[in-house]
Chains A and B, each alone.
Chain A
Amino acid sequence: MSAVPAQTTLIATSPPGARLARRRARLIRERLIELVLFLAALVSVFTTVGIVYILVKESVAFFQHVPLVDFLTDTQWTPLFDDAHFGIMVLLSGTLTSSAVALCIAIPLGTIIAIYLAEFAPFRLREVAKPFLELLGGVPTIVYGYFALLFVTPLLQRIYPELPGFNLLSAGIVMGIMIIPYVSSISEDAMRAVPMSLREGSYAMGATRFQTAIKVVVPAAFSGIASAYILGISRAVGETMILAIAAGMQPNLTFNPLEPAATITAYIVQVALGDLPHGSIGYQTIFAAGLTLMLFTLVCNIGGHLLRKSFREAY
């Protein structure tokens, strides 16, 4: 008990100048810490700046050799041949076809699972299903690639024997299954954020669960569901290893999922596996391809952002 008054006198007797100095030192320390934390937060901005800088720098060098018109309109992609052609459409067609297959799987199934978990499933099932779906999304893509090549493709060949060993279909299907958790978890969160009163109003009008889910909850949560779809699209477009393994790496201008084709991402992997000298045209093509990919996902992200803004329902 006696220690407390003793301390009070200690503080009281220390000269005001020393206290002021201590306070100033403490203030400076606080400011320094804040600055350090701010710099850490800025790292993400530097990352984006770095990505844009590197992609644009190498792409500018690339477009000094290859006119932009050729890049966009040529129908051949043979950058490493003597007769070099740089038609990004060839790679883009592979990316779009495989993404379309993946989304045909992921969007319907993901939406159904989300509606089911948010509106129908009993509490216990939901508690088990959500972490399970998370696990499904956590499996390394290289493992999915192996699975597509050596399990799904042979399975599909039993149904359709002419299917080549490398094809966009099985890669797309497996990619779709991989994307389901991303679509379902964000859509479900959006639906569960819809206030209970809306559902109660619907039930009070005599609507069934299904009617309430489809006509009340889904429209109310539409902005969230749409952003889940957009995330799914950008995942599909940027997916690399499944396609590099199971779809073959042959550039092929086709929209037929039964054929093998290279995507933008698979091409980058293929070039990185060989050893092209730094600064060669082949080295620069992967940055031009990466820039295309980046612009594509950027458009998706901005579109998703606008969609979310314009459809947001305020309660």
Chain B
Amino acid sequence: MAAANPTQIRALIASHKRWDTIFALCGLLALMLGVLTFAALFLDMALDGGARLSWDFFTSYPSRRAGQAGILSAWVGSTLVMLTTAFFAVPLGVAAGVYLEEYAAKNWVTDIIEINITNLAGVPSIVYGLLALGLFVYQFGFGQSILSAGLTLALLILPVVIVATREAIRSIPQVIREGSYALGATQWQTVRYHILPYSSAGILTGVIIGMARAIGETAPIITIGALTFIAFLPPSPVQAEPPFLSFEWLFSPFTVMPIQMFNWTSRPEAAFLTNAAAAGFVLVFMTLAMNGLAIWLRYRLRRNLKW
């Protein structure tokens, strides 16, 4: 080292600094690759299927003739399945999150539940499909119905809802709880009037992300044996005569957006591929809108919330 003169040292520093620049460029390039793929995917869908996007496409049943086929039964099915999923996943996930954050004692039972949730988040979605096929479809006899699909997806997104609930609750400072207890509130009153309202935006973000995932899930729903060609709608939940509400639709056969798209993708005729692209565009648009809403909510939350 003693022999190094200033010019050599300067050259050494410059060469090391060059690595900084090179790496920064690599990073930007890698990010750009992501952006490019995304743009290519979106444009590919829009260019291939854009021409098919019309009012008729949303109000027609699937058909043997590609030009007349639409996604009516698919989007109605998706909506009903999502309703069922939310009905089960949100109360269960929020309750589990509240229990783990506010009530659970530090013991082995809690440890097991926590390890379980981490593990479930890593289980491939198709395995949930197998669970549903064995349990809901055959053991419980729900058949290949909207109820089976909704329950399956609810179990699938349960870890997402639980984790989001826990994170939202954890960010509430301890002072809030102490203030509530000091006024004589019970634990449940504290949860009901303080913890849940203050964490609701965070929970909502998690629920939306979970639903966005559920709406695009294909594999578990194919596994329970959902039909790919459905040219009728489930019975309407609202009836003309008393009792006005009917839950027959829960046990109706159905199809959903991703399955409709899969069906069209696996056909050889080019005209059906156009339909697949159009359905894909609608699907991407829906998931993007939901994810975007969640990101925006979280951004606002971070900006507005100061304890």
Contact = CB atoms under 8 A, between A and B. Distances in A.
Interface of A: 26, 29-30, 33-34, 36-38, 40-45, 47-48, 50-51, 54-55, 57-58, 109, 112-113, 115-117, 120-121, 129, 131-136, 138-147, 149-151, 177, 180-181, 208-211, 213, 231, 234, 237-241, 244-245, 265, 268-269, 272-273, 275, 278, 286-287, 290, 293-294, 297-298, 300-301
B283 A234 contact: no
Contact of B95 (A30, A40, A141, A278): A40
Interface string B122-159: 11111111110111001000000000000000010011
Interface of B: 16-17, 19-20, 23-24, 26-28, 30-31, 33-35, 37-38, 40-41, 44-45, 48, 91-92, 95-96, 98-100, 103-104, 112-113, 116-120, 122-131, 133-135, 138, 155, 158-159, 162, 186-188, 209, 212-213, 215-219, 222-225, 228, 258, 261-262, 265-266, 273, 276-277, 280, 283-284, 287-288, 290-292, 295, 299
Contact of A138 (B41, B45, B123, B287): B287
A129 B122 contact: no
Contact of B186 (A26, A132, A300): A26
A275 B265 CA distance: 20
A44 B109 CA distance: 12
A41 to B, nearest CB: 4
A109 B30 contact: yes
A272 B225 contact: yes
A293 B126 CA distance: 10
A40 B276 contact: no
Given A40-B99, A113-B31, A208 B16 contact: yes
Contacts of B228: 273
B124 A265 contact: yes
For the complex of A and B, 10 pairs with smallest distance between CB atoms: A238-B124, A116-B27, A140-B216, A40-B95, A54-B134, A37-B99, A240-B219, A41-B96, A290-B130, A131-B295
A209 B250 CA distance: 58
Given A50-B135, A240-B125, 16 more contacts: A37-B95, A37-B96, A42-B113, A43-B92, A44-B158, A44-B159, A131-B295, A136-B38, A138-B209, A138-B288, A139-B41, A140-B215, A140-B287, A177-B34, A293-B124, A301-B119
A63 B188 CA distance: 50
A143 B38 CA distance: 11
A135 B288 contact: yes
Majority-rule SS of B interface residues: helix
Contacts, number: 260
B209 to A, nearest CB: 7
A298 B120 CA distance: 10
Contacts of A145: 262, 265
A297 B123 CA distance: 7
A208 B19 contact: yes
Given A117-B27, A293-B126, A44 B113 contact: yes
A40 B292 CA distance: 29
A112 B215 CA distance: 31
Contacts of A209: 20, 23
A133 B34 contact: yes
Given A30-B187, A41-B96, A57-B134, A241 B218 contact: yes
Given A151-B44, A210-B19, A139 B284 contact: yes
Contact of B116 (A45, A140, A239, A278): A45
Contacts of A298: 119
13 contacts: A26-B186, A36-B95, A44-B116, A48-B120, A51-B130, A117-B27, A133-B34, A140-B217, A151-B44, A241-B219, A244-B262, A272-B224, A294-B127
